[in-house]
Amino acid sequence: MIIRLLFFFSVLSFLYGCKEEDSIQLSNFTSDGCSLFIDGTFENPELWKDCCFKHDIAYWQGGTREEREAADLAFKKCVEKKTGKSELAELMYQAVRTGGEPYFPTWYRWGYGWPLGRGYRALSPVEKKMVNQKLDSFLNER
């Protein structure tokens, strides 16, 4: 009985002694352009690179499944607007839909700013604040 009580109080002290914010880890924002794809054409080598940059911001911070779907659709629309080529936009869209799952141990997965294993999860207010601070720092250094 005493051992059970000790275990119970140990668990309680652990749960209430640790705040969620203490364990949150977010790496600094990075972008490599269009990851495993080219950033543009021979004539304009960075034609759709800014679409990939905006997409990287969404993927770095992660979030819910619905937020990923919205980010991927915005990416597709951006590429199509820049190029006028719906086939290219669809190809790039399908690539990110297939390869960007949060469970893959890649540098370009959904939520790549967080440790692997986060999956699809809404950002808490504390996490949103961290995202904004790190993104502001990145943009101010550019």
pLDDT in tens, 31-69: 999 999 999 999 999 999 999 999 999 999 999 999 999
Task: Please report the pLDDT score of residue 20 as a whole number.
Answer: 47
The verdict on pTM exceeding 0.85 is no
Per-domain residue ranges of the chain: 26-141
- Report the alpha-carbon distance of residue 8 to residue 66 in Å, rounded: 38
pLDDT in tens, 89-138: 999 999 999 999 999 999 999 999 999 999 999 999 999 999 999 999 99
